[in-house]
Amino acid sequence: MTARKTVFQLHLYTGLTIGLLLILSGLTGSMLVFREEIEALVYPELMNTVPRDERVSLQAVLETVQHAHPEDKPFFIRIPRTPEQTYLVKMNNAHDLFVYVDPYSGMILGEHRQEDTFTGWIALLHTELLSGERGEIILGISALLLIGMSITGLILWWPRNGKFSSGFKIQWATQWKRINFDIHRASGIYTVLFILLTAFTGTSLVFNKTVINLINTITQSPPRAAPPLSDPRQAWMPRPALDMMLHQADSILPASTTWINLPQKPTAPLVVRKKLTQEFHPNGRNFVYFDQYSGKVLQVENALTASLGTRIFNTLYPIHIGVIGGTPTRLLQVIIGLSPLILFTTGYVMWWNRRKAKQYHSRLIK
């Protein structure tokens, strides 16, 4: 078997094995590019409110939700980014309950489990195949195989006669089998770079520890500092108000607050997450860590002064979801998400035609 034949076999059977999974991943990813905008349209009564003069305190918002769900522990709070947006409090229970609160009245507007909404269900399907960590690993491995498929596809596309222009064209005035082949070849070469980026960044999100260690090794960057710990010996002290810690975080890092991660363990810190205007990441990668008992600042992470390895890793998620260039790249990412459907369909048709031809010739021989 020649080297090219081996490459072809690898490309073919990898595609037949994971093709449907890649279609699922691509289509769900395309749907999630504009998830926030879709949810704002579908659930306006939860996502938006009428702006008023004064907001209730963040501490009051948290206490309202805790009073409504005393059996659950609050996991994080999403801070409104516009005057119209509401608070989102996620409760750390078996059902991933999301509670929406009006920032002006402090009233609970509604709640739902993630899997009970279409976009939430799509997100779980895209990130974990509705099966938790096992699904994440399957998706990570399929993304690695997609990288291999892209490389083998590029090798097969490379013209042996040096006529590169033919690989970018579709000959419409010919038989349908040739048109199908040209669509597969042309759509593959036009999207291969973006598919490689999407596959690599997707793999990085699943196997993040391995990837960040690899990036740090290549760039000779120090590892990111471990999160600091709260001191449980101070548990007897009155808990500091969230608003006080948020105000302190604003004075340390003057940037938009996007999330507050609430401690789940006695030694865990409370974390205020912030986004600087220079960042591509939609949620920011700046963190102010507080002792949950005393309110003391334990550690500050600034994305702009982080190590080179950390800064590179921080760009992978924005690239994956297409926000790195605003609306144009988000629209491009939607198109890239559709490409596995085109490539698998045309590839499957080519395989089926080849299979039928072999069966026909074998019958003639008999």
Distance CA 222, CA 293 (A): 30
pLDDT digits (tens, 9 = 90+) for 211-247: 999 999 999 999 999 999 999 998 888 889 999 999 9
Strand partners, 272: 260, 288
Strand partners, 48: 85
User: What kind of architecture, by CATH, is found in domain 44-116?
Assistant: Roll (3.10)
* DSSP state for residue 48 in the 8-state scheme: B
The pLDDT of residue 98 is above 60: yes
Identify which has the larger pLDDT, 169 or 361: 169
Confidence of residue 364 (pLDDT cuts 50, 70, 90): low
- Split at pLDDT 50, 70, 90, the class of 94 is low
CA distance 195 to 201: 10
216/34 Cα distance (integer angstroms): 32
Taking the C-alpha atoms of 149, 154, 157 and 159 in order, what is their torsion angle to the nearest 10 degrees? Answer: -150
CATH of 235-305, one of 3.40.5, 1.10.150, 1.10.287, 3.10.450: 3.10.450
Domain ranges for the chain, please list them.
3-33+125-220+324-365, 44-116, 235-305
Q: Tell me the mean pLDDT in the region 320-330.
A: 96
Parallel, antiparallel or unpaired: strands 297-301 and 286-290: antiparallel
pTM (predicted TM-score): 0.91
Same-fold call for 44-116 versus 235-305: yes
CB 77 within 8 A of CB 262: yes
Q: How many whole angstroms separate alpha carbon 86 and alpha carbon 219?
A: 41
The residue that leads in pLDDT, 145 or 166, is 145
Confidence of residue 164 (pLDDT cuts 50, 70, 90): confident
What is the arithmetic mean of pLDDT over 258-286?
A: 97
**Cβ(227)–Cβ(273) below 8 Å:** no
Mean pLDDT of 99-128: 96
Q: What is the model's pLDDT at position 269? A: 98
Strand pairing category for 87-92 and 297-301: unpaired
Decide if pLDDT at 360 tops 80.
no
Nearest to 140 by CA among 125, 156, 128, 158: 128
